Amino acid sequence: MDWSAGYREYAPPPALAHALSCVWVSVTPAAGAPATRVLPDACTDLIWLSGHGVSLAGPDTGPVLAPSPPGSVLAGVRFRPGAGGPALGLPLSALLDQRLEPGDLRAGLPGGRGAELSRVHGGLAPDEALHRLVGLAGGLVTDAAPDPLVAAAAARLGRPGARVGRVARDLGISERQLHRRCVAAVGYGPVLLPLT
């Protein structure tokens, strides 16, 4: 990985490409940088910060300004739409527009998922932290596969002229069932997916 100043995205390992949209790194120069404007993308990120540990950025319904403290080093994994909820073991609607810090994240994830995060502590070297973070994400998605219906809906709703009712019919389910599954797996209903 390139740990020079800036933000970079990398393809996830091929075995995780069905559940992770990318692996990323961000290094802020010692002189600092303005806050980054993060737009909603129907994704959820596990984020390692040097000296701090792993936090979680839940799905956003609007733009968020992410501060960039001088000299900060971050690494992250981004779950695809439909993958974050099953991987974390809870409906993403519970994490809508939230950021969970390491202690809250460890305590808030069910089934021992939070305890695994302690292996990716803030004292690690960035390469090792990213390696462990990818391994952790891989274990989470192996234990709970992404909702394929939600992933298909997200892909279809991203096309020009797509309509929720038509996509639901094409997938063989009702609009209500599509809404329920999207709220659990993405954090919000399908009508917002084309905006991400």
Task: List the structure tokens of 80.
Answer: 């695809």
* CA 117/CA 121 separation, integer angstroms: 7
196 pLDDT tier (thresholds 50, 70, 90): very low
pTM beyond 0.85, yes or no: yes
- Phi, psi dihedrals of residue 123, rounded to the nearest 5°: -85, 0
What digits encode the pLDDT tens for the residues 85-118? 888 888 888 888 999 888 888 777 777 777 788 8
Other CB atoms within a 10 A radius of the CB of residue 34 amount to 9
* CA 190/CA 180 separation, integer angstroms: 9
* CA 76/CA 136 separation, integer angstroms: 11
Is 180 in a helix, a strand, or coil? helix
